[in-house]
Chain A
């Protein structure tokens, strides 16, 4: 498993071959990206078996929809990470119906994604731009977006975590996302 992100051209080529049904290329794609995406799944699911299930669903979806990747959707790794995140959120929403509320709150106080360490971890140019725009939002708006992205929280869960009314959280999200978009488009 590689530690530095694999080159976009390499992954795009493997995705194109996967689109033709090339299983060997798909396996190489998995080997190049699995560790990066497992970290994403693990952060949201917070449990290994659940993260593995999400990974299986996500890679099957990547196999099925490889022909729909195009460069305007972002880098291959970002496109694949989005698929993993979406499968993770789906799994969380299905599961949470059965998990007691206080257990959820406890699990969610793991590493604070809004901390400074985050800014240091993001190295790439696009990441720095995004971070700069996030820093330009109000503290509450920024926290909503980061907690939601990293921990897969709903509006309600955010309200509990930030100890704010639901209506206020909705407003933070709406304004925060709007300002974020405007900042990125400058």
Chain B
């Protein structure tokens, strides 16, 4: 990109953030944003530069009818597109005590697991958020070295990814890779990690930039946690 082109891109990003572009130029620039991450970053930077102007507004309460509209609009996304056996886990959310809910939900998962000949210790975990709501179900097979993870309420993929970590005993977190937020993830586990699986080891999910944490350790907020439970046969 020539310096002139770069300057023009910067101008367009600024005017896009401001809202001054004429309709056709705006439409073309928006189409560019859909695939040009550098252009998106320029717009984000301008949004950030100008945002203090929003402090000039005294708050004005929206009508009480607005929240129900928003809640209804997100409901299809919250429940997930297709009905799956896992969505019935939402029934457990109202039960008193996070431990009870998690234990019952785990029992349900174990009951629904496909019956395969057990080759070795298998572990399952329910990864739940701060409110103890189950969000991911993970199963790990130490013998075959297979990891399978399934979101309980499929979400649209955002800019940041969910990265799964194994924290066994006092060891530093080991990455088990990035999980898809809206579909099942299956992959092979390295033998070294499979050997570290043990009952009650902690699994955690952190929010990371695309491709996973650049540091090899969790760099973003840890949003989900769970412990491995061993199941046999």
Contacts and interface: CB of A to CB of B under 8 A. Distances in A.
B155 interface: yes
> B interface, how many residues as a size bin?
35 or more
A158 B49 contact: no
Interface string B157-169: 0111110000000
B53 A122 contact: yes
A78 B47 CA distance: 8
A39 B59 contact: yes
Contact of B131 (A24, A73, A74, A122): A24
B62 A154 contact: no
Please indicate which of the listed interface residues A52, A156, A177, A184 has the most CB atoms of chain B within 10 Å of its own CB.
A177
Nearest to B72: A56
B18 A40 contact: no
B52 A130 contact: yes
B107 interface: no
B129 interface: yes
A99 to B, nearest CB: 14
Contacts of A137: none
| A-side interface mostly | helix
Contacts of B156: 64-65
Given A56-B69, A67-B160, A153-B20, A39 B58 contact: yes
Given A17-B129, A124-B52, A145-B18, A60 B59 contact: no
Interface string A11-24: 01000110111111
B170 interface: no
Contacts of B207: 16, 19, 67
B91 interface: no
B71 interface: yes
B20 A154 contact: yes
A156 B48 CA distance: 25
Nearest to A34: B62
B39 interface: no
A52 to B, nearest CB: 6
Contact of A34 (B66, B77, B135, B159): B66
Given A36-B59, A155-B21, A173-B18, 12 more contacts: A19-B155, A19-B158, A19-B160, A38-B62, A43-B57, A52-B66, A59-B74, A65-B156, A67-B207, A82-B51, A121-B55, A156-B22
